[in-house]
Structure formats: C-alpha cells, structure tokens
Structure 1
Amino acid sequence: MDAHQRRNLALAVAGTVLVVAYAAWAAVHVLIVNPLAAMPGYTVGEIHDAMTAAGQWSGPLRVYITLAIGPLLAIAAFIVTVRRRDLSITSVASVYLALIALGAPGYFWASFDIGMGMADTFQINGGDYSPWAGPLYALSFAALVALIAVGAWVLLRRRTPAAGR
C-alpha cells in the first residue's frame, strides 16, 4: 500500500468514525437529552409513556432508521475507498464532508416526529430545548463550508494557465 492509499484509508476511517459518532449523538439527543431538557422533572420513560398514551409516540425505530442512513453511506464509502486505488484525496474528503453536512437535515428529520409528539402531548414548543443540538448543526455547517472550499480549490487548480502564456 503506497502513501496515497494510506492517506485515503486514514481519511476514510476518520470520516466513517465521525459520521457514526454524529449519528449516535443525534440519536441520544433526540431520544434522551432533548426530551429531558423539554420536560424537567420527568424521566425519559415517563415522557415516552405519556406520548404513547396520547397516541403521539410509536417508538424510536423511525429515529434509528433515519439516522442510520449516514453511517451506512459512510461504510459504503469506506468500502469503495478500500477497493478503488485511483480515488483522489479530494474526492474521498468530499464524500465525508457531504455526509457530515447532510447530517443536519437528517437530524432535523429524525427529531421532527418526536418533537411534534412532545408538542402535542405536553402543549410545548416542538423545537430543541437542549443546547446540545448546536454542535451538530455547527459541525454540519463547518463541513459544508469545507466542502465548498474543496470544490473551489479543485476548480481553481483545473484553471491554471497554459504553459508559455
């Protein structure tokens, strides 16, 4: 394995770990942290039980399925990176940056159902009560900015003037 392949592999490992960690934190935030912040004095079990009794909670499966998309795509990208030796480092980085950037809409979608269920059950706002969603959004925004920067760098690099001009 040459240096180029080792760099791509290291990037793919780091990217996959970051995407999986993002999804795991998003799930913990959606299912535990935010409900506890929204309903102080209640346990998670009491919150989910009240939502179930009100017909506003069908369990965590939708959250898990939604948030599993990113890690599954990251694992697929890892497998492609291992198998393909001709990938540029910018293409590998771009895939993982895009997955992290798309984590914010994924988080929003995963939290929407439970947020609306809490709003209807407890007559509260359905948004984030915990500040710990902020790092997820910040990381997604930073990844989007980095993705744009990588794209601009690739475009500028391709537009170098011809020799002799």
Structure 2
Amino acid sequence: MVLLALLLGGLPLAVAGLLLPIEADPAARRTRPGIPARIGVRATALIAACGVSAMVAFAALHILVWNPTAKLPGMQLAEIYAAMAARGEPPGLAVGWVVAWAAGWAPLVAVFAAVAVLGPRGLLRNLDARRVARLVVLAVVGIGFGHWAAGFSMGMSLADAFGTSGSDAAPGGMVLIAAALFAFAIAVFKFGVPMLLPRPGEAR
C-alpha cells in the first residue's frame, strides 16, 4: 500500500486540491509571509508547475544517471546498463518503474498548469494561491521521501549486478531528503499546528 501510494504521486494531491472545500473566510486564507498572495494565483501556479516538474526530473536523473555512475566510478552509464543486462539484471524494469513514478506527478503538474493558464475558475475554483502553495509543500515532501521507492528496483539491480551497497553514492539523494525534511517541518508548523489552535473568538 505504501508503494502504491508513492507510485500514485501527485494524483491524491491533485484530487484533494480540486475537491476539498475552500475556507470561506478570506482572512483565514491569507498566507504568511504572504508571498503567494502578492504574486497572484496564476504566477504561483506557474512557479508550482515548474518547481514540481524540476524536482521530479532531478529525482529521476539522480536514480537513473548520477547515482549509478557515482557507485561505479570509471564506467560510463551505457557501460553500466550493458553490464547489468549481461549479468541478468536488465535495467528496463527499473527505468520503467522510475518513469511510472514520475508520471504519477503529472496530474498535479497539469492542475497547476491549468490554474496558471485559466485561473481559479470552474473545476479549479478552490485553488487559490494559498492552496497551491500548500500543495507544493506537500509535493516536496512526497517527492523527497518517495524517490527511494522509485529507485528501489535500480538500487537492487545495481547491488546484485556489481555487489554495491544499497545506499546513495551521489549527493542528489541527500538533497532530496533535506528538501523533504524542510518541507515537512513547514507542513507541521505552518499547517498542522494552526489547525489545533482555536480561532479568534472561538473557545476550545
């Protein structure tokens, strides 16, 4: 179930962003420090689409290119893949798994792109700048922590074919984890904690 959730990627976030009712009080929708609200919904959505796409591409390159070549210095990527195939570990399945994982984030990117072009109207009406920014934070958490699932098959194939360890050799993995931890902290203290606090004039 965990692997399935990670493979679905941005689909649950896209559905939640479209369907969850928006906060009725405009004051409650304000962002702090307010950057998304100042630059506007469309610009925020455009930055979000580009940012999520870039992070997914970074993770895919880390799994398929940078990490294999870092584990096996002196070998070109084509040589690594050829040796894997010759040793009974064809890389096609591992590459396909990464492509499927990356495609799982396409629905969220498509929603962001639609908001950037059309604005928050119709089916997109619930996606104001605040919600787009929150979805990006959650996407960073999902991509950063979930890239291990996408790279599991490649890591195992490399380990079986060359006797390497399963840990990352390239620094890209640490970059992704650091970004995910930072975004997770934002999610907890920016989204989670305020939900537990009473609103002004409301008693608990």
What amino acid maps onto 2:150 in structure 1? A
Please name the residue that 1:99 is paired with.
Answer: 139
Measure, in 1, the Cα distance between the counterparts of 2:111 and 2:169.
34
Q: 1:47 to 1:143 in 2, by over 3 A?
A: same
Scaled by the length of structure 1, the TM-score of the pair is 0.83
Q: 1-side partners of 2:151 and 2:200: how far apart?
A: 45
- For 2:102, the equivalent position in structure 1 comes to 67
SS at match of 2:74: coil
User: What's the RMSD between the two structures over aligned residues?
Assistant: 2.5
Alignment of 1:72-151 (within 5 A): 72-79=107-114, 82=119, 83=121, 84-151=124-191
- In 1, Cα distance between equivalents of 2:150 and 2:192: 31
Is the CA contact (8 Å cut-off) linking 2:56 and 2:143 kept in structure 1? yes
Scaled by the length of structure 2, what TM-score is found? 0.69
Letter in 2 for 1:63: V
> Counterparts of 2:142 and 2:160 in 1: how far apart (Å)?
28
Identity, in percent, stands at: 29
1:51 is matched with: 84
- Which region of structure 1 is more displaced relative to structure 2, 118-127 or 58-67? 58-67
- Write the distance in 2 (CA, Å) between the matches of 1:23 and 1:161: 43
Which residue identity lines up with residue 97 of structure 1 in the other structure? V
Aligned pair count? 160
Which region of structure 1 is more displaced relative to structure 2, 152-161 or 92-101?
152-161
> Which one of the candidate residues 50, 55, 63 is aligned to 1:22?
55
- Measured against aligned partners, the alpha-carbon deviations of 1:58-106 in whole angstroms (never above 9, x if no partner) come to 4222211112222432222443573334544332211111111100233
CA contact (8 A) 1:57 1:114 kept: no
Distance in 1, matches of 2:173 and 2:74, equals: 21
Distance 1:10 1:29 in 2: 28
Alpha-carbon distance between aligned partners in 2 of 1:28 and 1:50, rounded to the nearest angstrom: 19
SS of residue matched to 1:102 = helix
- Unpaired runs of 5+ residues, structure 1, are none
Structure 1 residue 12, shift from structure 2 partner:
1.2
Q: Which moved more, 1:62-71 or 1:27-36?
A: 62-71
Q: Counterparts of 1:143 and 1:107 in 2: how far apart (Å)?
A: 15
CA distance in 1, matches of 2:183, 2:173: 16
Question: Which AA in structure 1 matches 2:101?
Answer: T
Q: Give 2:171's aligned amino acid.
A: P
| Distance in 1 (alpha carbons) for counterparts of 2:186 and 2:113 | 20
Gaps of 5+ in 2: 1-35
